Amino acid sequence: MAKKTLVMIYGGRSTEHNVACRSAAFVYRSLDRTKYDLHLVAIDKGGDWYPQTETSGWEAAPLSLPVDCDRPRKLASHQPLNPREALAALCGLETTALSDCIFFPMIHGLSGEDGTLQGLFELAGVPFVGPDTLGSAVGMDKVVAKRLAASAGIPVVPFVEVNEEMWSEGKDSICRRAVDLLGLPLFVKPARLGSSVGIKKVKTADELPAAIEQALAFDDKVLIEIGLEVREVECAMLGTTRAKPSVVGEVILNAEFYSYEEKYAKDSRASTRVPADLTPELTTEIQKLSIRLFEVLSLYGMARVDWFLEKKTGQIYFNEVNTIPGFTEVSHYPLFWSKSGKDAAGLLSDLIDLAMRRAQVKGALKREA
C-alpha cells in the first residue's frame, strides 16, 4: 500500500513549548518510515506556523526538534475559502494532498491540547491523533474533569475553584474559605496547564495569596486542593472510547511534589518504578478506574491518567488526565507501553490507525436529515 503522510505539528504558544519540541523528537526518531512519510510543521512561541521543509542537516536522533523560522513560507495560490484550504496553507501543503495525511498534534497545553487545534482538524475534516475537541477541552480543564469524574463516582481530592473575577472581588474571603474547608497544607494549580507549571505547595495561610496570584498569572482559573500525603501512580491508555490500560507505574519522589524541574531537569531526583509496587488487586482497580475515566471524559486514542494513592488510608483519588502526554526520552506514556510489550514504532502506528478509524466512522455519518 502507498505510504500515508503523518503531519506532525509541534512547538506552540504554551509554557510547554520546549517540552513539545522534545516530544516531537521522539516521533521523529521512532516513526516507521517504511509505512509513513513525515511532514513537520513547527509553531513558534508567537503562534506563527513554519513548515520545516529542509531537515537534511538535522541529526538522525535529536533530543529536541528545532523551530526553523528563517526559511520563506510557501504562500497559498489563492485566499483560502474554507478550513481545509486554510489548514493546508498553514502546513505548506496542497489541499489535494490532505486526503493522504494524518495529523499528529504534538503541542502540550494551551492552543494544542485544549481542543482548539482539534477543532480546526474537525472543521477541515482530516484524521488526527488523540481525543476530539470535546475530550481534549474537558481533559485539559482540571476543574471540569474532576467534576465529571466525581459525578461518575470516581473519587477526587477535595478542592476549591477560584477564577480571576472571584479573586478580584474578594481575596481575603477566598483564602479564608479555602483554609476553612480544606485545611493546610494546600496545593494551588492553574486549572488548564500541564507539566506542573505554576503549581505551588502552601504550608501556611500567609503563603496562600501569593500562590494564587502566581497561578493566576498562567491561567484565569485556579484549583486549590487539599495537600494529602500520597503516592503518585499513573496508567497509560490506548484505544477507542473503551481503551486498554498499560501497566501501572509509580513516580518515586525525593521532593515535596512532582514539579516541572523534577520532571525534566537533568539533575532531577525523581525516578519511576514500572510496574508500581502494588498488590495485584490495587493494580487492577487503578486500571479499571482509568478505563472508566477515559469513557466518562469522552477521550479517544491516547491519554495518561494520573492518580493519588493516599498513604494513610490507601484511598485512590483521580488527579488529572493528559490527553497529549509527554513523549520525551524520559516520559512515562511511551515507557509504560514499552513495559507492556509495545515498542515505540508500534505505539505510533496504533495511534495513527485509531485516528484513521475514527475519521472513517465520522466520515460515514449522514450530513442531511
Q: In angstroms, rounded to a whole number, what is the distance separating the alpha carbons of residues 120 and 117? A: 5
- Which position has the grid cell 481525543? 131
Last residue of a domain, one of 226, 260, 280: 226
Task: Decide if pLDDT at 359 tops 90.
Answer: yes
Q: Report phi then psi at 253, rounded to 5.
A: -105, 145
d(CA 322, CA 237): 10
Residues 275 and 143 in one domain: yes
pLDDT > 70? residue 255 = no
Residue 72 lies in a domain: yes
Give every CB contact of residue 51 below 8 A, 6+ residues apart in sequence: 39, 40, 41, 42, 73, 74, 91, 92, 93
Residue that is written with C-alpha cell 498534534 in the block: 105
Dump pLDDT digits (tens) for 176-208: 999 999 999 999 999 987 656 789 999 999 999
- Across residues 254-260, what is the average pLDDT? 57
Q: What is the CATH number of the domain that holds 243?
A: 3.30.470.20
Q: Are residues 25 and 100 in the same domain?
A: yes
pLDDT tens for each residue of 71-111: 777 767 778 999 999 999 999 999 999 999 999 999 999 89
Q: What is the pLDDT of residue 185?
A: 96
Q: What is the CA 214 to chain-centroid distance, rounded?
A: 22
pLDDT of residue 266: 60
pLDDT digits (tens, 9 = 90+) for 157-171: 999 999 999 999 899
pTM: 0.92
Judge if 241 and 302 occupy the same domain. Answer: yes
Same domain, 14 and 111: yes
Does residue 353 form part of some domain?
no
Cell of 141: 480543564
> Which of residues 171, 192, 226 is at a domain's end?
226
37 and 114, same domain (yes or no):
yes
Residue 149 included in any domain: yes
Is 312 a member of any domain? yes
Name the residue among 64, 40, 43, 36 with its Cα closest to residue 54: 40
String of DSSP letters for 155-223:
-B--EEEEEHHHHHH-HHHHHHHHHHHH-SSEEEEETT--TTTT-EEE-SGGGHHHHHHHHHTT-SEEE
Picking from 117, 165, 169, 164, the residue whose alpha carbon sits closest to that of residue 140 is 117
Give yes or no: residues 10 and 150 share one domain.
no
- What is the model's pLDDT at position 265? 55
Q: Same domain, yes or no, for 13 and 112?
A: yes
55: domain CATH number is: 3.40.50.20
Span 115-133, average pLDDT = 98
Query: Does residue 259 register a pLDDT over 60?
Result: no
CB 243 within 8 A of CB 299: yes
Give the per-residue pLDDT at 272.
94
Q: Which helix (H) or strand (E) holds 333?
A: helix 332-339
In a domain, residue 336? The reply is no
pLDDT-derived band at 148 (thresholds 50, 70, 90) equals: very high
- Dihedral sign, Cα of residue 71, residue 76, residue 79, residue 85: negative
Q: What is the mean pLDDT of residues 124-128?
A: 98
Q: How many helices (H) and strands (E) does the chain have?
A: 12, 13
What pLDDT shows up at residue 237? 98
Q: pLDDT tens digits for 215-237? A: 999 999 999 999 999 999 999 99
Instruction: Specify whether 275 is located in the same domain as 146.
Output: yes
* pLDDT recorded at residue 268: 62
Q: Could you check whether the bond before residue 275 is cis, i.e. omega within 30 degrees of 0?
A: yes
CA distances from 136 to 52, 195, 325 (A): 26, 16, 12
Place of cell 487539599: 226
The reply to whether 56 falls in a domain is yes
Which of 201, 226, 251 finishes a domain?
Answer: 226
For the chain, the domain total comes to: 3
- Residue 369, in any domain of the structure: no
> Mind listing the pLDDT tens digit for each residue in 284-335?
999 999 999 999 999 999 999 999 999 999 999 999 999 999 999 889 999 9
Same domain flag for 90 and 163 = no
Inside any domain, residue 337 = no
Query: Are 9 and 78 contained in the same domain?
Result: yes
Cell 475559502 belongs to 81
Computed over every residue of the chain, the mean pLDDT equals: 93
Cβ pair 222, 163 in contact under 8 A: yes
Is there a single domain that holds both residue 108 and residue 150? no
Confidence of residue 262 (pLDDT cuts 50, 70, 90): low
What is the mean predicted confidence (pLDDT) over 114-125?
97
**34 pLDDT above the threshold of 60:** yes
Per cent of the chain over pLDDT 70 is 94
Residue 319's alpha-carbon distances to 139, 225, 252, in angstroms, are: 11, 10, 16
- The range of the structural domain enclosing residue 44 comes to 4-129
Q: Are residues 146 and 252 in the same domain?
A: yes
**Rounded CA gap, 257 and 14, in Å?**
22
Contact present, 109 and 193 (Cβ < 8 Å): yes
pLDDT for 70: 82
Q: Count Cβ atoms within 10 A of the Cβ of residue 346 and give its class: 0-12 exposed, 13-18 middle, 19 or more buried.
A: middle
Backbone φ and ψ of 298, nearest 5°: 60, 45
Whether 307 and 318 have beta carbons less than 8 Å apart is answered as yes
CATH number for the domain harbouring residue 163: 3.30.1490.20
